[in-house]
């Protein structure tokens, strides 16, 4: 079962909804005040039958038109007062509960930013979006209406039955007969509806994911003519959601019918018995009118039970879905166990990997680790190229440096300090990254680049753009203030990659991690970027994932990664002459269409056939 489709917790709706208390607590005064006003307004409606009793047994029986008009005026005032109180209640809760929703959404967004990358690898964005939008909107609606009226209607029913029993206890007992079957029906409904409500909300998340993927991948869909298959996939999910919603509707219709029918039968029985008592002289007509009016006034509070229970169950499942994300532990900034003892050992500067191993959190315990005892030292100011076949673990290894993932074993030190002992904020100030797949945000060019430098200004921005050969931004409609659009898709792949590279170098990082940063550039632009990048690399300690000889030539040394292990380290020329796998990878014979070395390693060409084989020896130590 996917992580986002978790089984509902064995927790009642009340227990689930009580978890909202920390968010509701700041507005509890207004919420309780609004509930009290609603109770008063609802109970005013129960005064109306008493006024009717007075009118029937008094002015009507004594043929007093003035008394009738007085009673009618009193009823009008009661109705106006009730309407005003309900309006005041709505005004009191609208603004603070909108603030509760905003606070929960802000907390969810903040929490998502602090969750480990492994969490985002498992959860689909549509499931997270539905939790932050439709689920929270549902919770706000619950707090505004159902929560209040569960209390109001319960109080109204209790007060109403007290009035009924006082007016005529024998008829009141008749109306109490349906209570037991109604309680049983509501309990069964609550159990069944909670399951269907949860299924529907998860399916909304799945549908949101498909819509988001279709919008972001519209170029692929159009390019391959996959409109029909995507439409069919969307229709299948829509039909599944429709079936679930119809199941909810059937449950709600069933309980509504029963909750309406059973009290109506009881009222009918009370009417027959009351009429007989009036005919026998044991009950006044006014009392019977008041009794029936009170019973009819209780119809809506009773009939609304099904609707309120349905909304409560949906809100309870929305609360569970919200806290399923909020309960996931954030990234920790504490040091690993045993880190203090290790820090007593002599330390080396630069970037050092000591016995580093890694297995993804959701991998089987007996599965082969992605990385196995990586021992590698990058000296201060040195650039190390990381080369290997597809699936050898290059990108995973570089992701461990900024702690996008935490090493399963071993440790990584930067200038002698274990990265697990650093606050993540400080670590990510020291380490800057540029990924192979550049991601830009719906913001201006300048804002996207300066994300790599907290306090960077225009001078740093222009320098970074120059290093990345991204001067094309000055030709955009509004220069560096041009909005690049969602995912930066208004730019070419090479332009996005250059802006991502500019973002990596703008803050003059102490350590630099580049994952094949030049793969989308044409040959001429690549040459210009390499020339500028060499100057940047002279000022930092860097590890560069490389697939092409031109990128490798930026490095002082090269590390060859084979099936999760470092199999060789040396200069480009040394490895060309001494390592057949490296020579084959650099020859281009093992490069796939996407520029990635293939996994197989057949015998390669001779070193004399390879780029850089005859370069002067002293060039191996230059950038």
Q: Which residue, 398, 414, 401, 433, is CA-closest to 506?
A: 433
Can you tell me the distance from the alpha carbon of 306 to that of 301, in angstroms, rounded to the nearest whole number? 10
Return residue ranges of the chain for CATH 3.40.50.300: 345-362+369-439+508-522+536-621
H-helix or E-strand containing 567? Answer: strand 565-570
Residues 391-423 as b or e (16 or more Cβ within 10 Å = b): ebbbbbbbbbbbbbbbbbebbbbbeeebbbbbe
The 351-358 sheet, strands edge to edge:
371-378, 351-358, 409-414, 417-418
Per-10-residue mean pLDDT, the chain, length 623: 50 84 89 85 80 76 78 83 82 80 92 86 86 90 84 86 85 86 87 89 88 77 79 89 91 87 87 86 81 84 84 90 91 50 52 91 80 91 90 88 89 91 86 81 84 78 85 85 74 80 86 80 75 81 87 89 90 90 76 43 43 38 35
By DSSP bridging, strand 351-358 and strand 371-378 are antiparallel
H-helix or E-strand containing 208? Answer: helix 179-216
* Inter-axis angle of helices 299-326 and 136-144, nearest 10: 150
Can you tell me the distance from the alpha carbon of 18 to that of 167, in angstroms, rounded to the nearest whole number? 38
**Four-point Cα dihedral 61, 65, 71, 72, nearest 10:** 120
Beta bridge partners of 374: 356
Q: What is the pLDDT of residue 110?
A: 93
Quick count: other Cβ atoms within 10 Å of Cβ 617?
A: 9
Can you tell me the distance from the alpha carbon of 324 to that of 122, in angstroms, rounded to the nearest whole number? 14
Can you tell me the distance from the alpha carbon of 103 to that of 20, in angstroms, rounded to the nearest whole number? 11
Can you tell me the distance from the alpha carbon of 452 to that of 438, in angstroms, rounded to the nearest whole number? 13
Cβ burial, residue 467 (10 Å; 0-12/13-18/19+): buried
Can you tell me the distance from the alpha carbon of 286 to that of 511, in angstroms, rounded to the nearest whole number? 89
Beta bridge partners of 511: 431, 541
pLDDT tens digits, 233-277:
889 999 999 999 999 899 988 888 888 888 888 888 888 888 888
- Beta carbons of 376 and 401 less than 8 angstroms apart: no
What contacts 552, CB < 8 A, 6 or more positions away? 385, 387, 546, 558, 572, 586, 612
Question: φ, ψ for residue 371 (rounded to 5)?
Answer: -125, 140
For Cα atoms 230, 324, 367, give the angle at the middle one, nearest 5 degrees.
75
pTM: 0.73
pLDDT tens digits, 473-483:
888 888 888 88
Name the class of domain 345-362+369-439+508-522+536-621: alpha beta
* Inter-axis angle of helices 299-326 and 65-114, nearest 10: 10
Question: At the fourth CATH level, which superfamily is domain 16-326?
Answer: ABC transporter type 1, transmembrane domain (1.20.1560.10)
Secondary structure of the chain: what % helix, strand, coil (to 5)? Answer: 65, 10, 25
Quick count: other Cβ atoms within 10 Å of Cβ 326?
A: 16
By DSSP bridging, strand 351-358 and strand 409-414 are antiparallel
Can you tell me the distance from the alpha carbon of 244 to that of 197, in angstroms, rounded to the nearest whole number? 8
Can you tell me the distance from the alpha carbon of 402 to that of 426, in angstroms, rounded to the nearest whole number? 10
Its sign, for the CA torsion 282, 287, 293, 294, is: negative
Can you tell me the distance from the alpha carbon of 336 to that of 418, in angstroms, rounded to the nearest whole number? 9
Can you tell me the distance from the alpha carbon of 425 to that of 549, in angstroms, rounded to the nearest whole number? 34
- The SS3 assignment for 457 reads coil
Return residue ranges of the chain for CATH 1.20.1560.10: 16-326
Q: Which residue, 401, 362, 399, is CA-closest to 378?
A: 401
- The SS3 assignment for 400 reads helix
Can you tell me the distance from the alpha carbon of 309 to that of 497, in angstroms, rounded to the nearest whole number? 53
Question: Across 256-370, where does the E strand assignment appear?
Answer: 351-358
Cβ burial, residue 477 (10 Å; 0-12/13-18/19+): exposed
- Beta carbons of 350 and 382 less than 8 angstroms apart: yes
- Beta carbons of 386 and 575 less than 8 angstroms apart: no
Residues 31-57 as b or e (16 or more Cβ within 10 Å = b): beebbbbbbebbbbbbbbbebbbbbbb
Q: Which residue, 512, 570, 506, is CA-closest to 541?
A: 512
The radius of gyration computed from the CA coordinates of the chain, to the nearest angstrom, equals 36
């Amino acid at each position: 079962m996917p992580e986002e489709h978790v089984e509902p917790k064995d927790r009642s709706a009340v227990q689930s909804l009580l978890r909202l208390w920390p968010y509701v607590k700041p507005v509890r005064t207004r919420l309780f005040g609004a509930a009290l006003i609603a109770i008063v307004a609802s109970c005013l409606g129960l005064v109306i039958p008493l006024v009717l009793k007075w009118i029937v047994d008094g002015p009507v029986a004594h043929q007093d038109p003035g008394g009738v008009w007085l009673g009618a005026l009193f009823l009008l005032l009661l109705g106006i007062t009730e309407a005003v109180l309900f309006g005041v209640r709505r005004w009191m809760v609208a603004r603070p509960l909108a603030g509760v929703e905003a606070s929960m959404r802000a907390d969810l967004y903040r929490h998502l930013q602090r969750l480990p990358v492994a969490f985002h690898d498992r959860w689909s964005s549509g499931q997270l979006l539905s939790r932050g939008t439709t689920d929270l909107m549902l919770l706000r609606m619950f707090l505004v209406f159902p929560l209040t009226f569960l209390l109001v209607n319960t109080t109204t029913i209790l007060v109403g039955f007290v009035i009924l029993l006082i007016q005529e206890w024998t008829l009141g007992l008749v109306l109490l007969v349906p209570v037991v079957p109604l309680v049983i029906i509501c309990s069964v409904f609550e159990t069944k509806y909670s399951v269907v409500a949860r299924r529907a909300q998860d399916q909304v998340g799945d549908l949101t994911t498909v819509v988001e993927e279709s919008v972001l991948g519209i170029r692929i869909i159009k390019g391959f003519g996959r409109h029909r298959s995507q439409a069919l996939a969307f229709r299948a999910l829509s039909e599944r959601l429709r079936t679930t919603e119809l199941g909810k509707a059937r449950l709600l219709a069933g309980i509504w019918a029963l909750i309406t029918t059973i009290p109506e039968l009881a009222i009918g029985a009370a009417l027959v018995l009351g009429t007989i008592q009036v005919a026998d002289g044991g009950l006044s007509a006014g009392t019977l009118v008041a009794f029936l009016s009170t019973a009819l006034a209780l119809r809506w509070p009773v009939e609304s039970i099904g609707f309120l229970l349905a909304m409560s169950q949906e809100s309870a499942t929305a609360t569970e879905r919200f806290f399923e994300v909020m309960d996931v532990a954030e990234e920790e900034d504490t040091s690993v166990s045993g880190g203090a003892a290790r820090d007593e050992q002599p330390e080396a500067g630069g970037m050092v990997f000591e016995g580093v191993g890694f297995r993804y959190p959701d991998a089987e315990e007996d599965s082969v680790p992605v990385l196995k005892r990586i021992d590698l030292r990058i000296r201060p100011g040195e650039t190390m190229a990381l080369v290997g076949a597809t699936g050898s673990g290059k990108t995973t290894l570089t992701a461990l440096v900024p702690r996008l993932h935490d090493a399963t074993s071993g440790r990584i030190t930067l200038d002698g300090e274990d990265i697990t002992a650093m606050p993540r904020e400080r670590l990510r100030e020291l380490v800057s990254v540029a990924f192979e797949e550049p991601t830009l945000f719906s913001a201006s060019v300048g804002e996207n680049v300066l994300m790599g430098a907290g306090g960077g200004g225009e001078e740093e921005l222009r320098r970074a753009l120059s290093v990345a050969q991204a001067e094309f931004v000055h030709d955009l409609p509004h220069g560096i203030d041009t909005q690049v659009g969602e995912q930066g898709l208004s730019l070419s792949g090479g332009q996005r990659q250059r802006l991502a590279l500019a973002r990596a170098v703008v803050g003059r990082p102490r350590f630099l991690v580049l994952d094949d940063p030049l793969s989308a550039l044409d040959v001429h632009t690549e040459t210009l970027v390499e020339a500028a990048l060499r100057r940047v690399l002279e000022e930092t300690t860097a590890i560069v994932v490389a697939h092409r000889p031109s990128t490798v030539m930026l490095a002082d040394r090269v590390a060859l990664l084979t099936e999760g292990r470092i199999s060789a380290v040396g200069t480009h020329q040394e490895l060309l002459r001494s390592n057949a796998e490296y020579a084959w990878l650099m020859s281009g014979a093992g490069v796939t269409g996407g520029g990635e070395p293939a996994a197989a390693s057949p015998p390669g060409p001779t070193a004399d056939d390879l780029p850089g084989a005859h370069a002067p020896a002293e060039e191996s130590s230059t950038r």
